[in-house]
């Protein structure tokens, strides 16, 4: 009887966590949809220009150099080698091919989704960037979406490999904060609207949650099929 009650409590706890998590991801998805409708499709850009006006007081050569450095870590020049190193590390040194393939799948699919959305919405970039030679469409922010996705993968790995709670939270906070500043740098440099960055962040959270859920389901199905064959 006691064992049955313990199982029921565990199931209830899992159900509550699942509902809370689902609710959080739904909120981020709704924010993404609201930005897409109001600011991209309806061209309600007043808030974006207010953010630009506020940040204009802080634009200096020194700040621009810092933001240019930070924004590099959301670019293909950093993310592509970083993905390859991370995949190679877990494939060759950790002998964890399952995680390597998962990282590859998330990285490739997220990039495909990003370019698809940019092609669909074709939102022009801000007309007065702080830095030049920035091409492509503006929505959603690729640096933000891809940066948060990559650092989100690192946070996922931290939570599954670091066993000291303090370090787990510390590393996760630092990775999240760095990804946040990548997105912020895009607005400071005026190569993206604030709405592009917020949308990229929300999309990344939703996509990571969905990806990890799907990958866990695939892993469970593979384990069940292996057990069934035995």
Among the listed residues 135, 138, 112, 106, the one whose alpha carbon sits nearest the alpha carbon of residue 125: 138
Tokens 């990806």 appear where?
211
What letters, b where the CB count within 10 A reaches 16 and e where it falls short, cover 192-228? bbbbbbbbbbbbbbbbbbebeeebeeeeeeeeeeeee
- Which residue range forms the structural domain that includes residue 47? 2-229
The torsion angle over the Cα atoms of residues 166, 171, 174 and 177, rounded to 10 degrees, is -100
Contact 124, 53 (CB under 8 A): no
pTM value is 0.86
Give the pLDDT of the chain (230 residues) as one tens digit per residue: 554 555 455 545 557 777 887 888 899 999 999 999 998 988 888 999 999 999 999 999 999 999 999 999 999 999 999 999 999 999 988 888 888 999 999 999 999 999 999 999 999 999 889 987 788 899 999 999 999 999 999 999 999 888 899 999 999 999 999 999 999 999 999 999 999 999 999 999 999 988 888 888 777 776 666 555 54
What is the count of structural domains for the chain?
A: 1
Distances (CA, A) of 74 to 31, 84, 102, 139, 147: 22, 15, 20, 15, 5
Rounded distance between C-alpha atoms, residue 90 and residue 98, angstroms: 9
Q: Kindly list the distances between the CA atom of residue 4 and the CA atoms of 11, 12, 13, 16, 64, in Å, as whole numbers in the listed order.
A: 11, 12, 14, 18, 61
């Amino acid at each position: 009887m006691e064992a049955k009650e313990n199982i029921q409590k565990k199931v209830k706890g899992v159900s509550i966590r699942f509902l809370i998590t689902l609710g959080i991801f739904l909120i981020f998805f709704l924010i993404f949809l609201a930005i897409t409708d109001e600011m991209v499709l309806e061209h309600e850009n007043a808030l974006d220009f207010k953010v630009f006006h506020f940040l204009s007081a802080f634009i200096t050569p020194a700040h621009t150099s810092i933001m240019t450095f930070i924004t590099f870590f959301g670019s293909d020049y950093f993310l592509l080698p970083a993905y390859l190193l991370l995949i190679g590390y877990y494939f060759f040194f950790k002998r964890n091919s399952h995680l390597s393939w998962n990282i590859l799948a998330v990285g490739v699919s997220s990039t495909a989704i990003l370019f698809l959305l940019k092609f669909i919405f074709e939102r022009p970039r801000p007309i007065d960037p702080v830095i030049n030679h920035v091409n492509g469409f503006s929505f959603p922010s690729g640096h933000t979406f891809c940066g948060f996705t990559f650092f989100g993968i690192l946070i996922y790995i931290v939570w599954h490999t670091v066993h000291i709670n303090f370090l787990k939270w510390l590393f996760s906070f630092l990775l999240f904060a760095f990804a946040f500043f990548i997105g912020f740098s895009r607005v400071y440099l005026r190569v993206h609207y604030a709405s592009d960055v917020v949308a990229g962040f929300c999309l990344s959270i939703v996509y990571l949650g969905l990806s990890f859920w799907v990958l866990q389901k695939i892993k469970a199905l593979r384990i069940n099929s292996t057990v069934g064959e035995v």
